[in-house]
Amino acid sequence: MLKYYQPRDRRLLQLQEQDDNSRHQSDSEDAASVASLDSSLSNMQSDSLASTAAKQSGAIRKSGWLNVKNWLVHKKRKVELAPQRAWRRYWVCLKGTVLLFFKDSQQQHQQMMMDAAVIEGCIAQPLPEHPKKENVLSLSTAFGDAYMFQALDKTDLDSWIAALHSACASQIARQRSKSDTVYLMETEIRKLEGNIDVDSKMKMMAEKQLTAISDSRSRQTILRNIQQWEENLERLLIELYRHRCYMTSLLGQELPNPKVSF
């Protein structure tokens, strides 16, 4: 049902395992390819990454070593498997709602970025079911891109998730010129819960109405309305889960269970 992110999706994890297995035989070639790709970044790309970082206000929220895998990318209004899906080790800095990737901490001070990822509106969550690695989190952005990050340990994993969600919540507050981020999240959650309640009741009424109508044209109209409410509910539920994730991270609480939320 969910299209915005992939919460503990076993089919995706199976694909991930198959992908890792298929690449196992060419590890040395892949490593050479990664090294060549990293060393040949053009000046134009570097300027673009520097511009992206410069636009982010505030200090570095969090930094540290992460193993990174770009899993899904958004291209031309559809989501595809990323062409380069090898795990890479980066020194990663979170500034605003952008992740900056460096070869090491020294390059951070020299502002020599190797890559960057916009994570505005993201959802991050642990992936304990990952078939081969521990302390892995998945990150899905509002644009459709998806990443996997392997942290140093469980504490580091939880810290990254909290930092990512807090950064996104702060961005929403800045966009709306609000100073109390927690209160804003509470307000948005109440609005979303109200909208979900209204759309759920409208959908139920339409389904009951459908059982009493035999005219084919009228039935088609009602079915279209039901489909629209289902799409609205899916979108609203995802937004509710996202805001609840932000709220729990701001308060230092445990993340909501997606299976319960949906």
Q: What is the pLDDT of residues 159-171, one digit of tens each?
A: 999 999 999 999 9
Confidence of residue 32 (pLDDT cuts 50, 70, 90): very low
| pLDDT band with cut points at 50, 70 and 90 for residue 52 | low
Return the CATH number of the domain spanning residue range 10-175. 2.30.29.30
pTM across the whole model: 0.76
For the domain made up of 181-261, the CATH class stated in words is mainly alpha
Query: Does residue 215 have a pLDDT over 70?
Result: yes
pLDDT higher at 24 or 187: 187
**Domain boundaries, given as residue ranges, for the chain:** 10-175, 181-261
Compute the distance between CA of residue 184 and CA of residue 247 in angstroms, rounded to an integer.
9
